[in-house]
């Protein structure tokens, strides 16, 4: 039997109560895809379930060939891989009738999820193996915003910065050659 290390973070989000992030989340990946995909999933008492699956990297799903669902609905995302600025490389997300941007801010341990009405700044205690994940909400933040912000802390997003993209380029090239 193949053992997998499962990481999870659990905490309370004010009036919304408990929230949990699980990586890899086996529930998010079909049995047939478990050898080739990893998943991350957010659940909570008053937080909609969000899940992301993608090609694996270090036990986390990558953006490559990723699939996103938010509150039981398929969601879409895209990014411009040839841009050099963090803002230009930001992930654009369309979920539950909203458009978001998710980007690295400051360094690889800090990210921002934003839409016109809200902004959530997330921080990890460490890039590779964080003991804690925290966030600060600004504006009209709701449970969907929180679910997405927490979810992407479980996804390998290092290539949202130019330096991270250069570091991960050999792996992406190998993926394309394998197709």
Distance (Å, rounded) from C-alpha 65 to C-alpha 61?
10
Please give the model's pTM, rounded to 2 decimal places. 0.84
Residue 176's pLDDT band, with cuts at 50, 70 and 90, is: low
* % of residues, the chain, pLDDT over 90: 37
Pairing outcome for strands 98-105 and 91-95: antiparallel
Express each pLDDT in 98-145 by its tens digit. 999 999 887 767 899 999 999 999 987 656 666 778 899 999 999 999
Distance (Å, rounded) from C-alpha 174 to C-alpha 35?
17
């Amino acid at each position: 039997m193949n053992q997998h290390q499962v990481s999870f973070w659990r905490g309370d989000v004010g009036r919304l109560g408990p929230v949990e992030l699980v990586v890899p989340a086996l529930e998010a990946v079909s049995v047939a895809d478990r050898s080739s995909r990893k998943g991350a999933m957010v659940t909570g008492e008053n937080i909609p379930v969000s899940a992301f699956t993608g090609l694996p990297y270090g036990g986390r799903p990558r953006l490559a060939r990723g699939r996103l669902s938010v509150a039981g609905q398929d969601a879409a995302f895209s990014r411009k891989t040839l841009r050099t600025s963090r803002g230009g490389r930001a992930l654009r997300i369309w979920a539950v009738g909203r458009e978001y941007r998710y980007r690295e801010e400051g360094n690889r341990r800090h990210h921002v999820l934003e839409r016109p009405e809200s902004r959530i700044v997330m921080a990890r205690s460490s890039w590779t193996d964080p003991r804690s994940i925290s966030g600060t909400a600004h504006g009209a933040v709701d449970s969907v915003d929180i679910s997405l912000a927490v979810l992407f802390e479980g996804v390998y997003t290092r290539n949202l910065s130019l330096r991270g993209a250069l570091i991960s380029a050999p792996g992406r090239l190998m993926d394309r050659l394998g197709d």
